Chains A and B, each alone.
Chain A
Amino acid sequence: MILSRVADGLYWMGRYLERAENTTRLLLVTEELSTEVLGLDEDVARGEWRDLRAIFPGFAEGEPPFRHLAGLASASLLGLSIDPENRYSVFHSLKKARDNARSVREALSLEVFINLNETYRELEGETRRHLADPATFRSAMQSTHRGLMSTVGAIEHTLTRDAGWLFLKLGESLERVFRTVVILRTKLPALVSDEPKVDLPLFYSQWRSLLRGLSCLENYRKVFGARLEPIDVLQFLLFDAQTPRSVRYGASAVKEHLDRISSASDVSQPARIVGKLAAELSYQGHDLIRDGQILSFLDHVLAELGRAHEALSAVYFGS
């Protein structure tokens, strides 16, 4: 059993690490897709950037509209990678993860802190260089991504499996499933509309990049092969029991951590909320997708995850 403040710090460290990783990955994928489709259909490229800004809504309000795609792309890249004022930028998330790590350093291993600190310091160096061109940007983001992966590796390999570890993993898993749902909620309206507005190859590119954005492309192929059918992709991203970024897997992971944190005798309020949600996801199937209820279902999932966060903050962090 640990201090409530330390549990809180570890939970948010987990959330911010996961968020930094998500933002990094989606930035890379969006940048690639936008470059790929630019010559074919500028509107699609523009849409990808708009989606990204909806998924990570950290840009200042009242930003002037971008007349040219290049302006939109480079403002989005800079804003979500190194802008310290953007609360969804990779740099901001990394800084928050590190601030939390510093405040609970005694609960971490040296390896975890060093990996996180190095990753942060390296990106901090980039903030002074302004990531002038796409190649520099990609190499900086890839390097940050590697750093995040080794931090997660250090967490996996060196931390003792105590209550602190559970809160760290709880933050990570909650952030992960939450962001997956936000991504789906943002991307799906355009993708599942009755008549595709774009060319077929482009259409598939978009579905492919959705899978890549959730680091699921290879996992999907193992189940369904190379052929991308929207209904299969959706089925996979929502209900697959094994891929770590499916909604079902994510909710089960949150549930498992909450169950282990709960005392043996009674189920806590947050565990109850997520338990119901995980059960729904385990027994839902194709019909939901066919009946066109998918968007409202995703809204329901988001609301329940929000409630779970409120409940666990109240129960465990006293806030």
Chain B
Amino acid sequence: MKWVTPRSGFDEVFDPRGQARPHYAALISILESFTKEDVERRERLQQLTLRNQGVTFTVYGEKDGLERIFPFDFVPRIIPAAEWKGIQDGLVQRITTLNLFLADIYQDQKCLKDGILPAELILSRKEYKRALLGLVPPRKIYTHVVGTDIIRDDRGEYLVLEDNCRVPSGVSYVLENRNLLSRVFPEFLGSYPVRPIKDYPTLLLETLRFVAPRRGQNPVVVILSPGIHNSAYFEHSFLAREMGVPLVEGRDLLVEGNHLFMRRTHGKRQVDVIYRRIDDDFLDPLAFRRDSMLGVPGLLNVYREGNVALANAPGAGVADDKSVYAYMPRLIKYYLGEDPLLPQVPTYLGHKKDDFKFIAEHLDQLVVKTTGDAGGYGMLMGPFAAAKERESYLAAMKKNPGNYIAQPLVELSTHPTHIGGKFEPRRVDLRPFILYGDRIRVLPGGLTRVALRAGSYVVNSSQGGGSKDTWVLAPREA
């Protein structure tokens, strides 16, 4: 087996002297025992399994919305128990804060009055839903499901890159990757105390049932999907199957007398909780975008009356805005009186004059992102962009500076990844999933995304990224 060691950045597996870190030693020796043919045979089996089971995502902009297999790399990422403890505590602290923040800006707006962050930064965002001011969601929970992106800098320190409070996706691949790895490389899991993740759908269902408005009876929970052409449709369908709940589209639902129902072959049935996988703007054409064909006319009124729960709550998207991110350390301190447990990446804000000047002058060293976009769209990688590209990007920025933030390029850790018969270092990130129900639970693991192209920093599936199984090890018994 040929291992290529990285030239720069922190490597998850090898220390700077080229030695395997202790928690990877067993895995490396198993991998070393395989012949090249063994590995190739199993990789073919792995491809076939993914293809036959239809574990796919859809790429927009291609003919017919092409279905693609989400590339999977079989070398797992391993996180020791102690490291995970730090991540988990930090995430609980963050999600607690995000909820307090959302409750605040939709109620008393104390943080704005106290000048913790500028009011116009929040109130001007399209993700801030003025119509929901004063409305308290069931159990006061806004972010039932969050996916927070974490990276590691060149010293191996875990940094939060962004929170996804709207409709974070990827958890189906987390579960499928584990299934696949245990089938194709059963030797791996046998050698480690890996914490199980299979109960995620059960916990998700509990989380959703917890917020049902009608207490004391069996609540009807559904998943609301935009339909088969959505890039994450596989996941919507996967979660519906795993939880045993109906997968609905907007046209399956109707509002009558301030209650929500689904249309069935023999009459209708009331719906209590919607795990919605469509954006705020498309939820209800009467309340938000009038041209939305995906939503349900009148849904927001039913929500307002407290007759249905929506997860995540409408309006929660403002909390994961990239400019709010910059204020997170201050918000944690403000609401909890604590210092952040998980550090984050320094962020320059386009709406601040000084910051904007700095960004404009250091464009060749910074990563610039638009505040509203996700999925790696609308981003400029300054250090790698041509001068012309930077110029035209800057011109666009000047028209709407508040729409941009910039961060120094973080090297990102690398992880050996099987490419063309060799194990080569490729950059990775980590998206753990957090559920907020009767308490906050962090799924032990998460989606490790890997930039499959040599030298690339972009891990998004839509742009040539793949994924790995992610193991969180159980603490050693004392």
Contacts and interface: CB of A to CB of B under 8 A. Distances in A.
B265 A4 contact: yes
A248 to B, nearest CB: 27
A102 B54 contact: yes
Interface stretch (B104-112, B248-256, B337-345, B414-422): B248-256
Interface in A229-284: 261, 263
Nearest to A115: B52
A116 B227 CA distance: 20
B54 A113 contact: yes
Given A5-B249, A103-B228, A106-B241, A121 B51 contact: yes
Nearest to B67: A102
Contacts of B233: 102
B243 to A, nearest CB: 9
Contact of A117 (B53, B227, B252): B53
B349 interface: no
B interface majority secondary structure: mixed
Contacts of A105: 54, 237, 241
A4 B54 contact: no
A7 B248 CA distance: 12
Contacts, number: 61
B17 interface: no
B240 interface: yes
B247 interface: yes
B266 A1 contact: yes
B263 interface: yes
A110 B227 CA distance: 20
* Most B Cβ at <10 Å: residue of A5, A99, A114, A317: A5
A59 interface: no
Interface string A149-174: 00000000000000100010000000
Interface string B256-296: 00000011111101000000000000000000000000000
Contacts of A103: 227-228
Interface residues of A, number: 25
B252 A4 contact: yes
Given A3-B252, A99-B228, A106 B247 contact: yes
Contacts of A318: 263
A interface majority secondary structure: helix
Contacts of B240: 106
B196 interface: no
B383 interface: no
Contacts of B246: 2-3, 6, 106
Given A2-B264, A7-B265, A103-B228, A110 B53 contact: yes
A117 B51 CA distance: 8
Nearest to A100: B228
A118 interface: yes
30 contacts: A1-B266, A1-B267, A1-B269, A2-B264, A3-B248, A3-B252, A3-B263, A4-B252, A4-B263, A5-B249, A5-B251, A5-B263, A6-B246, A102-B237, A103-B227, A106-B240, A106-B241, A106-B246, A113-B53, A113-B54, A114-B52, A114-B53, A117-B51, A117-B53, A118-B52, A121-B51, A167-B265, A261-B265, A263-B266, A318-B263
Given A3-B262, A5-B251, A6-B246, 12 more contacts: A3-B248, A3-B252, A3-B263, A5-B252, A106-B246, A110-B53, A114-B53, A117-B51, A117-B53, A121-B51, A121-B52, A167-B265
